[in-house]
Chain A
Amino acid sequence: MLWNVIQFELQYRKGRPATYIYFFILFLMGFLAIAVEEFTVGGGTGQVKENAPRAIAFMMVIMTALPGFLMSSAIMGTPVLRDFEHKTSTLFFTTPISKGTYLWGRFWGAMIVLLFVFSGVLFGLMLGAAMPWLDEDKMLPYNAWHFIQPFLVFVLPNILITGTLFYMGGALSRNLLFVYVQGAMLLVLYLITGDLLNDLDNQRIAAILDPVGINLINLVSRYWTVAEQNSQVFSMTGLVLINRLLWIGISVAVIFLTHYIFNFNIVKRGLWRRKQKEAQQVALPKLIATEINLHFGSKIELQRILHLANLYFKEVIRSIPFLVIASFGIVMTFINGWSFGSMYGTDSYPTTYQVLNVISGFNLFFIILIVFYSGELVWRERDIKMNQIFDALPLPNLSSLLSKFLAFVAIHICLLLVLMLAGIAIQAIHGYFRFELGVYIGNLFTENLAFLILFTLLAFFLQIIANHKYLGHALVVLFFIVTLVMTQVGLEHNMFRFASGSLGQYSDMNTYGHYVPPFSWYQLYWMAFGVILFAVSVSFSVRGVDTMLKKRLQLAKLRFARPLMILTAAGLALFIGSGAYIYYNTNILNTYQNSDEQIDLQVAYEKELKQYEADLQPKIVETYVEVDLYPKKRNFTAKGHYILKNRSGEAIETIMVQEPPHLDNHTDLLDFTYLDSIGGQGVELEKNWEDFGFSIFRLPRPLMPGDSIQMDFVQRYETVGFKESGSNTNVVFNGTFFNNTYFPSIGYNRSVEVGSDSERKDHDLPEKERMRERDDPVGQSITLVGDDGDYIRFETIMSTDPDQIAISPGYLQKEWEENGRRYFHYKMDRPMMNFYSFLSAKYEVMREAWTTPQGESINLEIYYHKGHEFNLDRMMEAMKHSLAYYATHFSPYQYRQMRIMEFPRYATFAQSFANTVPFSEGIGFIMDIGEDDVDIAYYVTAHEMAHQWWGHQVCEAQVKGNAMLSETMSQYSALMVMKEKYPPEKMQKFLKYELDSYLNGRATEQKKEMPLSLVEGQGYIHYRKGSLIMYALQDYISEDSVNTALHRFVTEWAWRQDRFATTDILLGFFRDVTPDSLQYLITDMFETITLFENRTVDATYTEQSDGEYVVNLDISTIKYRADSLGNETEIPIRDWIDVGVFGETESGKDTLLYLQKHRFTANESSLAISVNQEPTRAGIDPINKLIDRNPKDNTRDLKKK
């Protein structure tokens, strides 16, 4: 009997095209994801192969997640529902089959179908991976188990989870919308777990609760190296096992629950029974036979439209699914509003733009609402079968759809208002009361509302064209996928991307800046398109019973009369007009390149000009420039000169000039004047590549070694109209910040070359090392900042609007106003790096001073945006502490002044120039630093201050390992300054995040992980691992020893121009101060990739009669060497490692009772340690100084014996 019911369901599904369409969609996604390079769904990148087991598992889970919800709800939500919709329930429920047979027959039938549909992903991936055109370098040998295993571990349980839940929802509620609500709930849970994942302390809970498995996979494999990603499958152990068991358990519970609750009756008993009003026996009204006047026409029509819209509006907002979805979204907004822009666990203040960012998470719910309620509204009358009455009403065709649309707009507006209040509530909860209503309204009711209106129109259009509700839902989702694919195949111009156009990033300093005009034009363009969509929708909307395409076309022609014609014509005119204006701006006034064209240009540059790379060129030794900045127009002109000096031993006959690459930046003049006694000009342009802005000038007289020539230039930066993308955020209304890359440079520019290995291969370029070898003499002769200059003399006169302050490196010589403009003359009194910046903004200034031990006064200034006063004191203090520490331990500070200048948050970094540090408003300035938080403002300031030594005093060569000399040493310096002010717990917290970042970073390495001393611009190594290593090094060999080494290093290598510093030199200094017994540390830490797997296996203690406690520990310690892909080899252990015992202070806080280094010589060892207080926890490396992928198992709670 059961089998018959199953067969019935199978037969039903067999006849439905949807079954095969679903299968095919998943099959195709799987196939494309692996077989077509342009189509990526989280597959392997860099050295991780396309068919790496981790990549396959991830792709499978992603592809079955959201589409899977939809398909699962369509297949599992409907088997029982169908009988109620088609009123066949009466027939089935009166047959002699039992409830169980009916319920579970349908269930298993649908489940088998679902399994078939989802197997599409499996087969698609398996077939895709076998395609002959795939690049062998990007593939592992074919292994079917790598496909089947994740299908069994992730997809199969997911089918069960969604299947049982949706089946229950459909069977019990008898309403498909409830099934969708369940889908939304699962999605919310997934999103929340994704959010939790960012918090190091809640990651495990997040991974266990994740119903889909994406976050689970992310967490479990977060530290997997390339080699592990290429070889390991997700075994059913640990978190994976717990998560899967939990969800399978929930599924089984749901099955039983459904069986128990399901009522084998036709009439559903509502949970709340509403009492029907008794028929009222009231006297009949006095009937006055009045004449009825019918009114039609445009004035009354509006009233009718609003009347209808009101009805739809109330219907939707009172419907339970709407309320459920909307409240879920709002709850999620509050949950996401718990913390903002976290760095090292420290949150930023909930500024309005940060809150808006959180609110934008609700967009997903808007989309869900649009997808489903557009269907509900378009089908409203047909669903309740009132369409024949409704359609015969004397209502113009336009009115019905217009009222539905208006109802939806009203819903959007209401929700946006609710979100705005939620945002304000979130700010108030955090004790932040600067509610910027203008910013709320400025975002929500322009950018957001426009997006919502456009997608509503689109969803209506698709619903009407499809004329099938569920197909309409699918089409909207498909539309999103198609949009993504379009971008990937190069149709990326905003004019092709529906509802494009963005207000950009809001900045307190620059507000919406120059994004407003292009945004407005794009909105006009798409709104006009929306009008056309709407007119077409009206023409094709089904009124009456004709649904055949032919009849609909016939009717559409008939309906396309005056009002619609005018509407369409207006829409079309506006669409074409605004489109033309946009095109004029983006493609004629400005140059438009899609990303492929951009790469082609880079490739051509390298192929054409690489030949000149080795040609000797003179060096810039002096820069003088007059910069006139016009912030309101976003223009500047820079007139100036370089003095170029031949520092080589040979005569130079040609000078090659590379114009700056920025699109709006024009080089108007390049001219040369000899500076020797003969003088004269006559330098001729020999060859010019206009596409590359590259020119070769022939010198009539060669430039002899030691001789100089002056190169005059005029640079004109001119903003015209607006660009398609990549709008310049350096030259802006308020908060301009650009550097010398906006000026001409000398010689071939290596940084233009394409870096990605696969792109290089595609364009027949040889493989390229990321950096020069450490012993490369060319690399050693040039600095970090490029080969056209190292130390220069610098002078500038900047002018700007009178309400702005312009700042550049150097000391202010003079400030004056002239012709309504404000001038600043800066001059540096000693050579500085050929790396300088120009800033201009409306600034407030904080000024203090610090006195050197020699009694000199150093001016300290912070130029900040009004309202960003939160952390100025911390930054000022950090400047003073840094100067004190570095001047004492390394060498004296080279300048008489230090300035920090805030710039808009289009970029979020701080950068150290000579006596100036531009500092983004997005970090530090708005951090809400609490008692227990890591002081980000202090840390960043100390780090940038350290660069005045590491980078400016000692300049590193442009070779492998260079960032260790500047960045790692700055991290070390900042750590030492922090250590003086903050307690060890905070240091440990900071280092915990550094360890996590490092381990995460190496898991996403694209090419190869390098040891620290050969780092190739890999931030996760030179910052994150660098912090850990330097902190450990000073712990092992003492802070004084490290500082002695650094002092010697500075003394010997500061200000050198003949050869620049490399890591082998610094390591030499380190080795000099390291005792023999610890020399191995230098090898482990800097020269190799070394990891530990330390674990306390057993920990007990006994109380002695004399009040002493003896702690007994069984410790396992394994030491690994990893290669560049993360293949690990165990190496023998002969290491000194901390052993620690924790107790509790009287106030219940952890305190270290014992911390000593022990020498470990075997993998397993036992220790006994005496302490004089009752211990609680103990273990190896308790404060995580070593790099260990499972730092949590280092210690254990002690058991008393």
Chain B
Amino acid sequence: MKLHIENLSQTYPNGVQALKNVSLEIETGMFGLLGPNGAGKSTLMRILATLQMPDSGSITFGEHNVLIDKTEIRQLLGYLPQEFGVYPKIKAISLLDHLAVLKGIGNSSERKNRVEQVLVQTNLWKHRNKRLGGYSGGMRQRFGIAQALLADPKLIIVDEPTAGLDPAERNRFHNMLSELGNNAVVILSTHIVDDVTKLCPDMAIIHEGVIQMTGSPQEAIEALEGNVWQRVIPKQELDKFKQQYQVIGEHLIAGQTQIMILSDFDPGNEFKPKPADLEDVYFSYISHTQQPVLV
């Protein structure tokens, strides 16, 4: 099934335009939605998860109009919101069972099986009888993923799922997601370039409510190949360089400032060519207003 988003716009009462004419085609498989904080990712995710009505635009998933046939969409949906809480006094396994009932798994043995399955998948098996109030941030995040996967969803929306996970958990999560991509549309919103690099054959970069690019990360990187240059500069000269070059990134290396710039030709001035990666692609689209945030 295919997710088709057309001309989605959303403006908040305080004047912030969260989405401007967003159109996207998303096929089965992993799709990365990359953007800085406040880019409109969560708004888009919530709209896709049937929790918000856009001002205008349309979305279809397969046959269904996402904005109208909400119940049908919800039957296909697995959603992990960016922020969520849980009943603190209930055991993980009980709450999952409860949610499984609500998600339509009526047969109790099937349900038991499935709950155990997701508990194992998310590495929560040994914590299954613990009250959720006692879960750590990472455990809770895994619980969130577990509930999203419960009913074998066909449309999976995960909003900043790896925030707060330690590297090992993140890896495990990446593996889990990539398996899901085989027979479902999985939309992963994140501001972590690495997540997309590792998982997504297809992606979009969103910034200030506008889709800056869509396509395969690989192709985007190739398009940039040979145009990225880097050098170490004295920190006080950063502004000077920014005026002179299109700086797409800066970071510290052993206490010294290293900058990346975009240039069709060799800029000289001690700049060395650098093999392009997705981070460069990302920052090349958002650097004109945004100070790069590096991870």
Contact = CB atoms under 8 A, between A and B. Distances in A.
B101 A545 contact: no
Interface string B109-131: 01001101100100001111111
Contacts of B77: 392, 394
A78 to B, nearest CB: 21
B113 A304 contact: no
Given A287-B120, A294-B104, A392-B74, A276 B130 contact: yes
B70 to A, nearest CB: 8
A280 B49 contact: no
B13 interface: yes
Contact of B52 (A290, A292, A300, A545): A545
Interface string B73-108: 011010111011111100000000011011111110
B68 interface: yes
A62 to B, nearest CB: 41
B101 to A, nearest CB: 5
Contact of B147 (A279, A308, A389): A389
Given A287-B120, A311-B98, A388-B51, A393 B103 contact: yes
B84 A388 contact: yes
Interface string A282-321: 1011011110111110001001100110010001000000
B53 A551 contact: yes
Interface in A247-298: 276-277, 279-282, 284-285, 287-290, 292-296
Contacts of A389: 79-81, 84, 99, 144, 147
A279 B127 contact: yes
A144 interface: no
Contacts of B68: 558
A388 B81 contact: yes
A393 to B, nearest CB: 5
B216 interface: no
A197 B245 CA distance: 88
Which DSSP category, helix, strand, loop or mixed, fits chain A's interface?
loop
B120 A284 contact: yes
B83 A300 contact: no
B218 interface: no
Contacts of B105: 292-295
Nearest to A386: B85
A153 interface: no
A554 interface: yes
Contacts of A384: 85-88
B200 interface: no
B31 to A, nearest CB: 18
Interface string B30-65: 000000000000000010011111000000000000
Contacts of A847: none
Given A544-B46, A546-B53, A385 B83 contact: yes
A303 B102 CA distance: 10
A1002 to B, nearest CB: 60
Given A290-B110, A292-B151, A391 B120 contact: no
A543 B127 CA distance: 31
Nearest to B82: A388
Contacts of B117: 287, 289
Contacts of A140: none
B101 A307 contact: yes
B101 A304 contact: yes
Given A284-B120, A287-B116, A544 B52 contact: yes
B134 interface: yes
Interface in B133-171: 134, 144, 147, 151-152
B178 interface: no
A489 interface: no
Interface string B238-261: 000000000000000000000000
Interface string A501-516: 0000000000000000
A396 interface: yes
A395 interface: yes
Nearest to A403: B102
Contacts of A396: 71
Nearest to B112: A285
Contact of A293 (B107, B127, B144): B107
Contact of B113 (A290, A300, A393, A548): A290
Given A545-B52, A548-B13, A393 B120 contact: no
Nearest to A288: B113
A554 B56 CA distance: 12
A545 B51 contact: yes
Contact of A307 (B53, B98, B125, B129): B98
Given A287-B116, A290-B110, A386 B49 contact: no
Contact of B126 (A280, A300, A308): A280
A386 B80 CA distance: 11
A18 interface: no
Interface in A1107-1162: none
A392 B125 contact: no
A174 to B, nearest CB: 14
A282 B85 CA distance: 27
A290 B87 CA distance: 29
B129 A276 contact: no
A555 interface: yes
Contacts of A385: 83-85
B126 A279 contact: yes
B121 to A, nearest CB: 9
Nearest to B86: A386
A565 to B, nearest CB: 15
B46 A277 contact: no
Contacts of B127: 279-280
A395 B107 contact: no
Nearest to B157: A392
A396 B72 CA distance: 10
A121 B88 CA distance: 43
A393 B74 CA distance: 6
Contacts of A555: 53
Interface in A537-555: 543-546, 548, 551, 554-555
Contacts of A554: 53
A281 B71 contact: no
A300 B75 CA distance: 14
A276 B134 contact: yes
A124 B150 CA distance: 60
Most buried by A among B85, B105, B144: B85
Contacts of A543: 51
B51 A280 contact: no
B42 to A, nearest CB: 9
A860 B130 CA distance: 79
Contacts of A279: 126-127, 130
Contacts of B116: 285, 287
Contacts of B131: 276-277
Contacts of B147: 389
A394 B120 contact: no
A282 B126 contact: yes
B44 to A, nearest CB: 12
B294 to A, nearest CB: 27
Nearest to B70: A558
Contacts of B13: 548
Nearest to B139: A279
Given A295-B106, A386-B87, A551-B53, A392 B79 contact: yes
A554 B80 CA distance: 26
* Closest 4 pairs between A and B when the two form their complex, measured CB to CB: A544-B51, A385-B85, A388-B81, A394-B74
Interface of B: 13, 46, 49-53, 68, 71, 74-75, 77, 79-81, 83-88, 98-99, 101-107, 110, 113-114, 116-117, 120, 125-131, 134, 144, 147, 151-152
11 contacts: A276-B134, A280-B128, A284-B120, A288-B113, A290-B114, A384-B88, A385-B85, A389-B99, A392-B50, A392-B51, A393-B74
Given A277-B130, A394-B74, 13 more contacts: A292-B114, A292-B151, A294-B151, A295-B104, A388-B79, A388-B84, A389-B147, A391-B51, A392-B50, A394-B71, A394-B75, A394-B151, A544-B50
